[in-house]
Amino acid sequence: MAIVKSEDKPMVEDPSSLSYAQMSQLKLYESELWKKACRNSAYLIKEIHYNTFAREWRCVWSEDDDKRSLTELQRVLEEVALPALRRVQGVLSVQRVVCGCNKEFKVISKLALDAFEDWSGMQFYPEEELVRRWHGIEGVSKIEVETYTLEPVFGPGK
């Protein structure tokens, strides 16, 4: 897996053609761009490019006791995972997925490659505590973690 620098391309070919207001907007946009556009990228193969990794924590919950395990999973997410993830440098997004058919509960944290590498050096904190707490919830099973690339291919997130 090769990590390469993305090409730096100007946002506007001729900045002198912009009004003062447009120039101010462009500068503001460019100053915030680093938060949205990752600088490093890699290829699995020539046709598959990526610049973010995701770490997924998942488990299966039970309908028993009025879905108490699902309630407890949400509580652990709010009390353990979210406060810690807000302090992890470079987190681009955190998503929660709940599937009612398969009774799955997933937390997906997306980071740029360099930030992900740093986070892996911290053993994906707060993963250990989260998994430990999930194991203590009655009705929760099949606790797993996985890392994969996560890239938008269509839509506004592209």
**Measuring CA to CA, how many Å separate 18 from each of 25, 30, 40, 152?**
10, 15, 30, 31
Confidence band (pLDDT; 50, 70, 90) for 158?
low
Confidence band (pLDDT; 50, 70, 90) for 37?
low
pTM (global) more than 0.85: no
Look over the chain and give the mean of its residue pLDDT values, rounded to a whole number: 87
Extract the tokens encoding 3. Answer: 């990590």
Q: What is the pLDDT of residues 41-83, one digit of tens each?
A: 788 888 888 899 999 999 999 999 999 999 999 999 999 999 9
- Spell out a b/e string for 43-60, using b for 16 or more CB atoms within 10 Å of the CB, else e: eeeeeeebbbbbbbbbbb
Q: What is the pLDDT of residue 93?
A: 95
3-state secondary structure of 3: strand
* Structural class in CATH, domain 52-149: alpha beta
Q: What is the pLDDT of residues 82-108, one digit of tens each?
A: 999 999 999 999 999 999 999 999 999
Where along the chain do its domains lie? 2-48, 52-149
